[in-house]
Chains A and B, each alone.
Chain A
Amino acid sequence: MKTILFSFLMALAVMLSGSDAVKASSFGFDPVNSTECLQKAIDSGAKKIRIDNTGKDWILEPIRLKSDQEIIIEAGVKIIAMAGKFHGRGDSLFLASKVRNITIRGEKGASIAMRKKDYQNKELYKHSEHRHTFRLMNCDDITIRDLDIRSSGGDGVYVSGDKDRNYSTNILLENLILDNHHRQGISIISVKGLTIRNCTISNTKGTAPECGIDFEPNQRDEFLENILVENCRFSKTMGDIVLATRLRTPCSITIRNCHMSNSYAGIMAGIFLSPEDPERAPPGFFRVENCVIENTRACAVRLRDHRTDMFELTLKNLTIHNPGGTAIQFWAEFPVSRRTGAAVLDNIVIEDKKNTGFLAFDTRKLPGAVLEKVSGDVVFNGEKFDVEQWIKQQRWDANEVLTDGQIADLQKLVPVGGAVEKEAPKKLKLRHDFRYLFACRKGVPVAFELELISVGKRSPTLDNLILTGPDGSRQWLELLATGEKLHHRFTPRADGIYYLDVDTRNMVMTLTPQENCIWSITPLPEKRSGARYLQSYGSPQNSRLYFQVPTGVKEFRISAFGKTKAIVEDSSGKAVMEIDNPGQDTIYTLKRESGKAEIWSILIKSSTAGLRMIEPLSPVFSLEKRNLLIGN
């Protein structure tokens, strides 16, 4: 009886639709909640379903798609996610899981909207980045086209595999407007065969990474294979095309004829290798051709950790206007990526009135990294450059690993001594990893005050400040909360250097000496790269740092990065070198006639600075000359 009734309903629906398609509304349209009606239509197994224009919006809770169907959203139909629903953190409007052969297409003016603002309201919803409009998992032969898709609580379209098969295949996304999504316009986790054509992606804002299209596999054995993005437009995202991957499978991605504007960056690719598995560089290619990238805030193209043995990287026929920062940036961050580059930059035209160079190589986190095997030609503000030659001129291809200055024996350091300077030193605000050094005498109390100053919204408490003595004693200081001051007084039990290691956890710290406090600072190795940068942030202008040039040294080097502006002065106070906003890690070579041990200084003009002393300099600084601890 049920079968007969169902067949009758189907026949009626087909008849009402006036074609071979069934009308979805014939399954019991309810303008308050149309979910059951549409789900029944889908579950009917009809080959073609028309979501018809009833004059009312289709209000839906999550819908599950079935195989072998064409779903047509009629002209003017608005599908809207139901208010107060989608509380599950993975609730998507249309879920396609282990299905195949589906086309979903819209007629003129058809649109789908979710309720991003509601999902972002912490009073109403738990945080999630997975309330997608379309979630495709382990699917084959899926087409979504001719639709206006807006305001999801995750991605407009999400494509992945699942635990049974870790990819989807043959996906076409065409003529879509993907606007105002919470996390991404489109996320591609794992796919074999994908075309994204004639899509417009814009205004992604809510939760990181806020991209246009994000190619970001979760696992290293997933796939980004046979992918084409063409004739698409992007604007107002944090990265129009982002590739962030740890893949070891072959990658094949072509981006062509696209227009990107007004975003943080146009193309951002980061390819990260596990230190435990450094030999598994993915083969394949990533090509960007015939694209325009303009008015970005950070850069047009940023390529992170693209090791020379990885897949082919080609940027061809790009036009770049007003890139914000340097137009094309290579970054080297992880120790396994010490040799980066291997890219073709072919016929790239850049108009940039702000920056002095077209290419940057950022090694702040991996000093000593080299950029090599990068070729092609770039026209920068009308002047043509051979990229390979230009890199050679910058010495970025020089395989020279610089060694940080070292303290041979901490306990042999002694203060320079001398009179108290008339003017109190400026309070340098230090950031990240460093060590305070205190020259102490047994039984003579020492006191100082630490202040931890907030940067941004975080406010950690430092709970592991340990003062270590020359006798091996370890004294734990009281907890120091952000925004607080900590007074500490101790009586040394031995002569020698006491030290206090600090990791400011992105905050900044100052030290105010209070009693018998003869102190210097030395940077500690950066956790990932091991480089020793002394980093200041938000310091008053004209802070001065003293350092020693040892006996016999006539030529030495200092490295600086970022927005550092400083003047290096010799022992007589004469300015001998200017550091002016170096951007990437830059080496400055200094020479002198004298071979005597001397105290030089660096006058820091900028509020933010990063300085590194190269061997044979000692990496010890002080704010007052008399306090500088030098080798005995």
Chain B
Amino acid sequence: MKKFSILLLIFAAGIILPAAPLRHNFTLVFKAEKGKEISFELESKNAGKQDRPIILKAVLHDDKVVELEALPINARQSYKLMPEADGLCTLPVATGGAVVTVHPGKNCRFAMHGGYDRSWKGDFIQLYRPPANTRLYFTVPAGVKEFQIEIGCNGPNTITIINGEGYEKVRLEEIQNKQFVSLKRENVEAETWAIIMEKCTHTGFRFLEPLSPVVAFNKNDLAVGK
């Protein structure tokens, strides 16, 4: 298991994007600066049978666990984290059958991965009916020429994967169920690629080693394993 502290965040001003709802298990990874309060809102909606509030415990840089107010289903609540050191704060979320959307506020730059309970091994990061053309950025590490992503869809989905220059490497039209996508490249430098969810229902992505499971909606928020 990798330690959070060995992750760096690339950061710059980002575009405010339409929020995409996340489902099931994931962990939010926030850029932390000592004394700079991070504010954000979480919005939950029922997308199944879940009716119990979602329990939230944030992990600050020094592994200190802070219990946050539980998020009821079909609610939107404000949250604040006060980092005690520079680095990262994490917030594991298990939505059950509900979906959760993150609305970033002040000092809130975040990436995420599909793991829960502080595991960086990663699992499917799952999105539920994201806005058309939502982008999910991920890193292809230096030296990696071939890699795989597993895509799981519930309903017909159209998904494009673009390379660091924006060129389409794969376009999957109206796909359903699970499938592995194998990708190749000539470049050996570290690059930021993206999955573009042109039309998606309930969709999950799993990034197989040597890829990092960390993804972000905003290219500039992507957390990169060093």
Write the residues of chain A forming the contact surface with B, with a CB cutoff of 8 angstroms: 461, 463-464, 473-479, 481, 484, 490
B166 CB–A CB distance under 8 Å: yes
* Residues of chain B contacted by A474 (CB below 8 angstroms): 167-168, 171
Alpha-carbon separation in the docked complex, A479 to B166 (Å): 11
Q: 4 tightest A-B contacts by CB?
A: A463-B133, A474-B168, A476-B166, A481-B15
Taking the complex as formed, is B16 at the interface, i.e. its CB lies under 8 A from any CB of chain A? Answer: yes
Residue contact A481 to B16, C-beta cutoff 8 Å: yes
B194: A residues at CB distance < 8 A: 476
A454 to B187, CA, bound (A): 38
Give every chain B residue within 8 A of A481 (Cβ-Cβ). 15-16
Q: Please measure, in the bound complex, the distance between the C-alpha atom of A155 and the C-alpha atom of B133, giving whole angstroms.
A: 39
Q: Which residue of B lies closest to A465 (CB)?
A: B166
Distance of A502 Cα from B196 Cα, bound (Å): 18
Nearest to B131 among chain A residues (CB) is A463
Q: Is the CB of B167 within 8 A of A463?
A: no
Which residue on chain A has the smallest CB distance to residue B134? A463
A476, A478, A490: most-surrounded residue (chain B CB, <10 A): A476
Query: Is the pair B168, A479 in contact by a Cβ cutoff of 8 Å?
Result: no
- B:115-145 near A, CB below 8 Å: 132-135
- Per the bound structure, the CA–CA distance linking A183 and B162 in Å amounts to 47
Known contacts A476-B196, A479-B15, A479-B17: does B165 contact A463 (CB below 8 Å)? no
Specify which of A461, A464, A475, A484 is in contact with B167 (CB 8 Å cutoff). A475
List chain B residues, Cβ under 8 A from A478.
Answer: 166, 219
Judge if B148 is at the interface, Cβ distance under 8 Å. no
Query: Which residues of chain B are near A490, meaning CB under 8 Å?
Result: 165
Complex: chain B residue closest to A463, CB-CB: B133
Contact of B166 among A461, A477, A484 (CB under 8 A): A477
> Which chain B residues in 1-21 approach chain A with CB under 8 Å?
15-18
Chain A residues in 8 Å Cβ range of B196: 476
A476 with B15: CB separation less than 8 A: no
Q: Is B201 interfacial (CB-CB < 8 Å)?
A: no
CB contact between B160 and one of A461, A476, A477, A484 (< 8 Å): that residue: A476
Whole-angstrom distance between the Cβ of B88 and the nearest chain A Cβ: 25
Q: Mark B153-194, 1 if CB is under 8 A from A, else 0.
A: 000000010100111100100000000000000000000001
Residues in B whose Cβ lies below 8 Å from that of A479: 15, 17, 135
Given the complex of chains A and B, what is the CA–CA distance between A484 and B133 in angstroms? 19
Q: What residues of chain B lie closer than 8 Å to A484, measured between beta carbons? A: 15
What would be 27 A-B contacts, judged by CB atoms less than 8 Å apart?
A: A461-B15, A461-B16, A461-B17, A461-B18, A463-B132, A463-B133, A463-B135, A464-B132, A464-B133, A464-B198, A473-B167, A473-B168, A474-B167, A474-B168, A474-B171, A475-B162, A475-B167, A475-B168, A476-B166, A476-B168, A476-B194, A477-B166, A479-B15, A479-B17, A481-B15, A481-B16, A490-B165
Give Cα A476 to B162, complex, Å. Answer: 7
| Residue from B18, B132, B134, B168 having most chain A Cβ neighbours under 10 A | B168
Residue of B nearest to A480 (CB): B15
Indicate if the CB atoms of A475 and B166 lie closer than 8 Å.
yes
CB distance from A614 to the nearest CB of B (A): 34
Residues of A within 8 A of B171 (CB): 474
Output the least CB separation between B26 and chain A (Å): 22
Alpha-carbon separation in the docked complex, A464 to B196 (Å):
9
Interface-centre pick from B132, B166, B196 (highest chain A CB count, 10 A): B166
Expressed in whole angstroms, the minimum distance between the Cβ of A115 and any Cβ of chain B is: 26
Give the total of B residues in contact with A, Cβ under 8 Å: 19
- Mark contacts of B193-217 with chain A using CB atoms, 8 A cut-off: 1 yes-contact digit, 0 otherwise: 0101010000000000000000000
Q: Which B residues contact A (CB, under 8 angstroms)?
A: 15-18, 132-135, 160, 162, 165-168, 171, 194, 196, 198, 219
A185 to chain B, nearest CB (A): 35
Q: CA–CA, A475 to B17, complex, Å? A: 20
CB proximity of A459 to chain B, nearest CB, Å: 9
A405 to chain B, nearest CB (A): 31
Question: Smallest Cβ distance from A504 to chain B, in angstroms?
Answer: 15
- Give the distance to chain B from A235, nearest Cβ to Cβ, in Å: 41
Q: Can you add 20 more A-B contacts, CB < 8 Å, to A463-B133, A476-B160?
A: A461-B15, A461-B16, A461-B17, A463-B134, A463-B135, A464-B132, A464-B133, A464-B198, A473-B168, A474-B168, A474-B171, A475-B167, A476-B166, A476-B167, A476-B168, A476-B194, A476-B196, A479-B17, A479-B135, A481-B15
Contacts of A463 in B (CB 8 A): 132-135
Shortest distance in angstroms between B15's beta carbon and chain A's nearest beta carbon?
5
User: Which residues from chain A contact B165 at a C-beta distance below 8 Å?
Assistant: 475, 490
Whole-angstrom CA separation of A393 from B16 in the bound complex: 53
Q: How far is the CB of A453 from chain B (nearest CB, A)?
A: 16
Q: How far is the CA of A68 from the CA of B99 in the complex (A)?
A: 49
Q: Which residue of A lies closest to B196 (CB)?
A: A476
A478 to B15, CA, bound (A): 11
Cα of A477 to Cα of B196 in the assembled complex, Å = 12
**With A and B bound together, what is the CA distance between A312 and B128 in angstroms?**
49
A476 to B196, CA, bound (A): 10
Q: How far, in angstroms, from A481 to B15 measured CA to CA in the complex? A: 7
What are the residues of chain B within 8 A of A461 when measuring CB–CB? Answer: 15-18
List the A side residues contacting B133 at CB < 8 Å: 463-464
Q: Within the complex, what minimum Cβ distance (angstroms) separates A442 from chain B?
A: 15
Contacts of A477 in B (CB 8 A): 166
Residues of A within 8 A of B219 (CB): 478
State A464–B131 Cα separation when bound (angstroms).
12
The distance from the CB of B18 to the nearest CB of chain A, in whole angstroms, is 8
Tell me which residues across on chain A come within 8 A of B135, comparing CB atoms: 463, 479
Q: Which residues of A contact B198 (CB under 8 A)?
A: 464
Which chain A residues lie closer than 8 Å to B18 at the CB level? 461
Give chain B nearest CB distance to A447 CB in angstroms: 14
CA A277 to CA B127, docked complex, whole Å: 37
**Complex CA distance for A477 and B15, rounded to whole angstroms:** 14
- List, in ascending order, chain B residues with CB within 8 A of A475's CB: 162, 165-168
What separation, in Å, do the CA atoms of A485 and B213 have in the docked complex?
31
* Shortest CB distance B173–A (Å): 13
CA distance A478 to B220 in the complex (A): 12
- Name the residue of chain B whose CB is nearest to the CB of A484: B15
The CA-CA distance from A481 to B218 in the complex, in Å, is 13
For A462, the closest partner residue in chain B by CB is B133
**Chain A residues whose CB sits within 8 angstroms of the CB of B16 once the complex forms:** 461, 481
In the bound assembly, the distance between CA atoms of A463 and B135 in angstroms comes to 9
Q: For A464, list chain B residues within 8 Å (CB).
A: 132-133, 198
In the assembled complex, the CB of B164 is this many whole angstroms from the nearest CB of chain A, namely: 11
Which chain B residues border A473 with CB–CB below 8 Å?
Answer: 167-168
Taking CB atoms, residues of chain B closer than 8 Å to A476 are: 160, 162, 166-168, 194, 196
Q: How far is the CA of A461 from the CA of B135 in the complex (A)?
A: 12
Assembly CA distance A498 to B103 (angstroms): 37
- Least CB distance from B12 to A in Å reads 12
Please name all residues of chain A whose beta carbon is closer than 8 Å to the beta carbon of B168 when the two chains form the complex: 473-476
Distance in angstroms from B104 CB to nearest chain A CB is: 15
Closest Cβ neighbor of B198 among chain A residues: A464
| A481: nearest chain-B partner, CB-CB | B15
- Interface core residue of B15, B132, B134, B135 (most chain A CB under 10 Å): B15
Shortest CB distance A470–B (Å): 14
Closest residue of chain A to B171, judged by CB? Answer: A474
Bound-state CA distance A608–B168 (Å) is 36
Question: CA of A478 to CA of B196 in the docked complex: distance in angstroms?
Answer: 12
Q: Considering the chains assembled together, what is the distance between the CA atoms of A307 and B165 in angstroms?
A: 51
Q: Which residue of chain A is the closest to B133 with respect to CB atoms? A: A463
Most buried by A among B17, B167, B171: B167
Q: Whose C-beta in chain A lies nearest to the C-beta of B194?
A: A476
**Complex Cα distance A473/B17, Å?**
26
A611 to B182, CA, bound (A): 47
B76 CB to closest chain A CB (Å) equals: 12
